[in-house]
Structure 1
Amino acid sequence: MNVVMPEPIDFCISGDVAASIWVSPSAILTMLNASAKAGRSETGGILIGRYGAEGWFADVVEATPRPKGSRSGWTWFQRSNSGLSAHLAERWHEGLHYLGEWHFHPGSAPTPSDSDISAMWKVAGDKAYHCPAPILLILGGKPTSHWYLSATLFRDGHVVHMRKKSPK
C-alpha cells in the first residue's frame, strides 16, 4: 500500500539545548509505507542524514525499512542489524551518517516509552554507533490516514522532546 508523498517536517527546540531536526518527505514516506505494511505490529529502522555546519541541526534524509531478521509484536520491536553495516558504509561515502532510530506505534500516540528511552541512551553511550546525540522518531496512529510523528533528541544527558515547527 502506497501513501501520498508528504511534506517535510521541521522540529525544533530553543533554550539551553537548542536544536533543529528536518525530516525529508522520502524518509517520512518510507516510514508510512513500512508502517502500513506492518499493520498492527510495530516496525522500524534507522535514520540516516547529515549534521549542519553551525549549532545543532540535523537533516534526516533517509529512513530505512525494517531490516531482515527484525522481530515485532503489537507493543514491541527488536531491530536486526542485517545489511545495515554495508548500507551505512555506502551512505558514509555520500557524506551521510547514522543519526538514530525510528519505529511505529500502531494506533497509538508517538510518545517514547521507558524502554524506548533506555534503548536510545544505550545507543548514545555505545561508541560503535558514532552517535553521541541520537534522534528517535516515532510514528503513531494510522499510517494510511491519521498519523503523527514525534522527534526526541538524546543529547548531553537530556531527553529533549522536540516541537513541530508551525508552517509559515
Structure 2
Amino acid sequence: MTITKHYKNLKLVVEDSLLKSIYQSSCGHYPKEYGGFLIGKYSDDFKTLYIEQSITAEVFKSSRIEFTRESNYLKSEFKKLFIDKRLYYIGEWHTHPDGEAWYSSTDLSAMINIKKDQGVSISNPILLILSITNDSLKDFNFFVLNNNRLELYE
C-alpha cells in the first residue's frame, strides 16, 4: 500500500512496507531511540518526493530520550546509491519510544545543522518520527524543514 502525504503543493510518497521495515529495524533497540537515513528522489518537476529506502545507523549513541548518529562512514554508500540508482539522501528518521510522533527542540536543531552542513546538498531535509511501543508502531509523522521550521506533511 502506498502512503501519500501533502505539504503545500508538495507530495510525499512512501510504501507502507518501508515504514514497517523501519519500525522492525528499531524494535531491537526499544526502549531506546533509534534511527537512520531516508533515501529517495524527487520527480522531474520537484513536486513529488519518493522515499525509496532507509539506511539504519550503525555508529550512534542512544538513550530513552535521545539519538545521535554518525554519518561520515556512509559517504561512499550515499555516492554509490546516487550513481547506481539516482537515489540520494533526503533526510532522517528516528523513534520516540512510548512518546509522541512529534519533534523536539533537539530534533529541530539537528535538522537545521544538517541543512547548514557543507557536505549535504539538500535545503529542505525530511524528518520522520515514529512513535513506538514495545509491541507496535503507534503513529508516525513526516516533517520538512522550511525557513528553519519543521512543518508537517499531512
TM score, norm. by length of structure 2: 0.90
Pick from 127, 132, 140 the counterpart of residue 141 of structure 1: 132
- 1:105 aligned onto 2:99: no
Pick from 68, 71, 76 the counterpart of residue 66 of structure 2: 76
Q: Deviations over 1:117-166 (max 9, x none)?
A: 11101111223111111000000032742421100001344432111xxx
Task: Provide the residue aligned with 1:13 in structure 2.
Answer: 7
Alpha-carbon distance between aligned partners in 2 of 1:61 and 1:8, rounded to the nearest angstrom: 11
Query: Which secondary structure does the structure 2 equivalent of 1:53 belong to?
Result: coil
Query: Which secondary structure does the structure 1 equivalent of 2:94 belong to?
Result: strand
Name the Cα RMSD after superposition.
Answer: 1.7
Are 2:96 and 2:129, in contact at CA under 8 Å, matched by a contact in 1?
yes
Task: Provide the residue aligned with 2:50 in structure 1.
Answer: 59
Alpha-carbon distance between aligned partners in 1 of 2:122 and 2:25, rounded to the nearest angstrom: 24
Task: Report the CA distance shift for 1:157/1:73 in structure 2 as closer, same or farther (over 3 A).
Answer: closer
Alpha-carbon distance between aligned partners in 2 of 1:55 and 1:138, rounded to the nearest angstrom: 23
Number of residue-to-residue matches in the alignment: 153
Query: Which secondary structure does the structure 1 equivalent of 2:51 belong to?
Result: strand
Pick from 8, 11, 14 the counterpart of residue 23 of structure 1: 14
Residue 82 of structure 1: how far off its partner (Å): 5.5
Task: Report the CA distance shift for 1:8/1:51 in structure 2 as closer, same or farther (over 3 A).
Answer: same
Alpha-carbon distance between aligned partners in 1 of 2:23 and 2:134, rounded to the nearest angstrom: 5
Alpha-carbon distance between aligned partners in 1 of 2:93 and 2:137, rounded to the nearest angstrom: 18
> Percent identity over the alignment?
24
Are 2:23 and 2:137, in contact at CA under 8 Å, matched by a contact in 1?
no
Are 1:46 and 1:100, in contact at CA under 8 Å, matched by a contact in 2?
yes
For structure 1, the 5+ residue unaligned runs are 1-6, 164-168
Alpha-carbon distance between aligned partners in 1 of 2:28 and 2:118, rounded to the nearest angstrom: 33
Specify the code of the residue in structure 2 equivalent to 1:13: Y
Task: Provide the residue aligned with 1:88 in structure 2.
Answer: 78
Task: Report the CA distance shift for 1:145/1:157 in structure 2 as closer, same or farther (over 3 A).
Answer: closer
Q: Give the number of the structure whose residues are more often strand, by fraction.
A: 2
Query: Which secondary structure does the structure 1 equivalent of 2:56 belong to?
Result: coil
Are 1:106 and 1:142, in contact at CA under 8 Å, matched by a contact in 2?
yes
